[in-house]
Amino acid sequence: MKKTNFESYLAEQMKDPEFAARFERANEDWDIALQLTTLRQQAGLSQKELARRVGTSQQQISRLESANYEGHSLSTLRRIAQVLDAKVRVVFDTEDTRSGMSVAESRVTYRARRGGKEKAL
């Protein structure tokens, strides 16, 4: 299948190590934002209600759910996770650049647990 213009452009940009590093960091921020938003919505909570239960502001929850936010605090994420009946898990993942083999554990599939059921995020 033929690559789109964007896919070709992105493949070319990814050859630049600095760009690739920035792209990966943005991907991690997006992942956190998406997980928080999904868990909050699955719990049936608004940003305002989650903020009240966590003891923070709605604006802070909004920032945490933004893919552009980079100031995630582990303690804040833990407080949110507790309210949402979830766990925070940090995985340091390094790669052996010669072989492409991961030297840390494999990537995690994130799951939300609600009412005894697990749902993949």
pLDDT digits (tens, 9 = 90+) for 6-16: 788 878 888 98
CATH of the domain at 23: 1.10.260.40
**Integer Cα distance of 29 and 65 in angstroms:** 9
Q: What is the pLDDT of residue 98?
A: 46
Domain residues for 62? 5-120
Q: Mean pLDDT, to the nearest integer, of 72-82? A: 94
Beta bridge partners of residue 95, listed in sequence order: 102
Q: Please indicate whether residue 119 or residue 83 has the higher confidence score (pLDDT).
A: 83
> Tokens for 79?
């407080």
Summary mean pLDDT of the chain: 80
Whole-number Å distance between alpha carbons of 21 and 64: 21
Helix, coil or strand: residue 119: strand
34-58: pLDDT as tens digits: 999 999 999 999 999 999 999 999 9
- Tell the residue number behind the tokens 């960091």, with chain if given: 25
Helix axes 74-83, 47-54, angle to 10 degrees: 110
Number of compact structural domains in the chain: 1
pTM reported for the whole predicted model: 0.62
Show the tokens assigned to 12: 């070319």
> Would you say 116 and 42 are in contact if contact means Cβ atoms under 8 Å apart?
no
